């Protein structure tokens, strides 16, 4: 055990603490974070793939269905009327790589409930201000759309009125209900975020539709496996350095012992001291 007493030095204790903390983070935070993102992405991709093949259903069926059922990306049919003067713009969007806005409006169903509808994207004028935006068509309408989950709100990004439009930073049913002063009905999505409708291409009142995400799992699985590998490699690396240090110390003791044996007794202490000084400061002093 005396051979391992060097591990009690502060430098080795700090190194061991860093390695243990890093391995703990890899196994409990970093790897699960990436693996969970991979699972979420695969689940989303499956929902999108299923919705592409499925026929649209009445949005009232979704509203009356099980709130725990995942409904995001489902294609639905809604009948009703767009409410006049209900336009809200979502800032910081992009269209074909240029600045743009998402255009929101309120849509009242035949049964009296009102839903939030994303009409699509429009390009910004000179990259800084919204263009003239036509009101949605009046009268009874039948629209086809996809269910989307609200994005939530950014605490320090408050709604405002600029360039004659009410503007927000995210699509969120609860926030837009407050901005419009209209009780909007959130669509159940199977999550804690109430949903809204995203118009499909060619629908009444639609602008450029928001494109579907790429059905790509992304790099999250490989990242998660890499963090697991790092969590294993870090303790192994520490063990290697401990072994290398023990081997170096053993070799050093062997060399010192050989020198002491070869030297006369009267000069052994002097030679050993000189060797240690030379090893620390060099031969030339």
User: Using one digit for the tens of pLDDT, what is the confidence trace for 13-44?
Assistant: 888 899 999 999 998 888 888 888 777 777 67
> What is the 8-class DSSP label of residue 89?
E
3-class secondary structure, 68: coil
Could you tell me the pLDDT band of residue 285, with boundaries at 50, 70 and 90? very low
How many angstroms separate the most distant Cα atoms in the chain? 113
User: Using one digit for the tens of pLDDT, what is the confidence trace for 226-253?
Assistant: 888 988 998 898 888 888 888 877 777 7
Q: What is the pLDDT of residue 255?
A: 66
Could you tell me the pLDDT band of residue 217, with boundaries at 50, 70 and 90? low
pLDDT at residue 282 is higher than 60: no
Give bridge partners of residue 208 from the DSSP assignment: 121
Over its C-alpha atoms, the chain yields an Rg (Å, rounded) of: 33
Share of the chain above pLDDT 70, in %: 81
Cα(64)–Cα(45) distance, integer angstroms: 25
Residue 114, token pair as written in the block: 């009102």
Element (H or E) spanning 45, and its range? helix 31-53
Q: Where are the beta strands (DSSP E) in the chain?
A: 57-58, 75-82, 88-95, 98-109, 114-123, 141-149, 160-162, 165-168, 195-199
Mean pLDDT of the chain, nearest integer? 84
pLDDT at residue 61 is higher than 90: yes
Q: Are 16 and 7 within 8 A, CB to CB?
A: yes
Cα(184)–Cα(178) distance, integer angstroms: 9
Q: What are phi and psi of 169, to 5 degrees?
A: -110, -15
49 contacts: CB under 8 Å, gap ≥ 6: 215
User: Using one digit for the tens of pLDDT, what is the confidence trace for 192-208?
Assistant: 888 999 998 899 999 99
User: Using one digit for the tens of pLDDT, what is the confidence trace for 121-169?
Assistant: 999 998 889 999 999 999 999 999 999 999 999 888 999 999 999 999 9
Residue 111, token pair as written in the block: 């049964």
Could you tell me the pLDDT band of residue 276, with boundaries at 50, 70 and 90? low
Q: What is the pLDDT of residue 68?
A: 83
Q: What is the pLDDT of residue 173?
A: 95
pLDDT at residue 58 is higher than 50: yes
> Is the whole-model pTM more than 0.75?
no
Helix axes 220-262, 10-25, angle to 10 degrees: 160
pLDDT at residue 120 is higher than 60: yes
pLDDT at residue 268 is higher than 60: no
């Amino acid at each position: 055990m005396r051979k391992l007493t060097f591990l009690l030095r502060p430098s080795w204790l700090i190194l061991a603490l860093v390695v243990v903390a890093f391995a703990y983070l890899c196994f409990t935070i970093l790897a699960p974070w990436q693996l969970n993102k991979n699972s979420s992405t695969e689940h989303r991709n499956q929902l999108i793939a299923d919705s592409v093949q499925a026929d649209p259903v009445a949005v009232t069926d979704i509203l009356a269905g099980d709130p725990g059922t995942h409904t995001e990306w489902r294609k639905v049919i809604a009948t009703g009327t767009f409410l006049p003067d209900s336009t809200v713009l979502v800032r910081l969007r992009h269209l074909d790589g240029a600045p743009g806005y998402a255009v929101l409006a309120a849509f009242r169903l035949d049964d009296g409930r009102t839903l939030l509808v994303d009409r699509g994207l429009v390009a910004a004028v000179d990259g800084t201000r919204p263009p003239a935006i036509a009101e949605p068509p009046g009268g009874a309408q039948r629209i086809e759309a996809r269910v989307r989950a609200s994005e939530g709100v950014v605490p320090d990004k408050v709604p405002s009125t600029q360039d004659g439009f009410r503007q927000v930073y995210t699509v969120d049913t609860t926030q837009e209900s407050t901005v419009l002063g209209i009780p909007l009905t959130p669509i159940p999505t199977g999550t804690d975020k109430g949903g809204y409708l995203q118009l499909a291409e060619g629908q009444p009142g639609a602008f450029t539709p928001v494109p579907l995400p790429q059905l790509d799992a992304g790099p999250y699985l490989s990242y998660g496996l890499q963090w697991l590998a790092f969590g294993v490699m870090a303790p192994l690396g520490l063990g290697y350095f401990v072994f290398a240090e023990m081997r170096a110390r053993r070799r050093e003791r062997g060399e010192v012992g050989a020198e002491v044996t070869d030297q006369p007794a009267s000069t052994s202490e002097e030679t050993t001291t000189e060797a240690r000084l030379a090893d620390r400061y060099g031969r030339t002093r």
